[in-house]
């Protein structure tokens, strides 16, 4: 993922220890398993990823629904103002 330049970066040790702490946190929650210095995903990791994707999908869906409600509300407000004759528009169709 990174080139060899990462090893000469001034903050390499700090970032490496931060990444190691994150990995150990995932080991503690049983999302990763450490085997001989390597990490292996467990079923908990797949479930966590699936839950995150489901939550993100629901958020996007609710976002769309909220925007639809905003446009419907604005339309109803405009129709109400026209019916109360606060906003006057020329008659397009006259059925009398």
Residue 13 CA to residue 24 CA, distance in Å, equals: 16
> Higher confidence at residue 59 or residue 92?
59
Radius of gyration of the chain (CA): 28
For 25-79, the pLDDT digits (tens) are 888 888 888 888 888 888 888 888 889 999 999 998 899 999 999 999 999 999 9
pLDDT of residue 66: 94
Q: Enter the pTM of the model.
A: 0.49
Is residue 32 within 8 Å of 42, Cβ to Cβ?
A: yes
pLDDT of residue 1: 63
SS3 17: helix
Read off the pLDDT band of 81 (50, 70, 90).
very high
**Domain ranges (residues) in the chain:** 1-41, 56-91
Residue 50 CA to residue 46 CA, distance in Å, equals: 6
Pairing mode, strands 32-35 and 38-41: antiparallel
For residue 22, which of 53, 51, 45 has the smallest C-alpha distance?
A: 45
Which residue matches tokens 């190691």? 20
């Amino acid at each position: 993922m990174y080139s060899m330049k990462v090893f000469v970066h001034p903050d390499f040790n700090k970032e490496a220890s931060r990444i190691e702490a994150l990995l150990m946190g995932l080991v503690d929650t049983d999302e990763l398993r450490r085997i001989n210095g390597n990490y292996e995903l467990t079923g908990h990791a797949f479930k966590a990823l699936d839950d995150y994707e489901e939550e993100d999908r629901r958020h996007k869906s609710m976002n769309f629904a909220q925007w639809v409600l905003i446009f419907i509300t604005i339309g109803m407000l405009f129709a109400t103002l026209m019916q109360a004759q606060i906003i006057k528009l020329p008659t397009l169709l006259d059925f009398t």
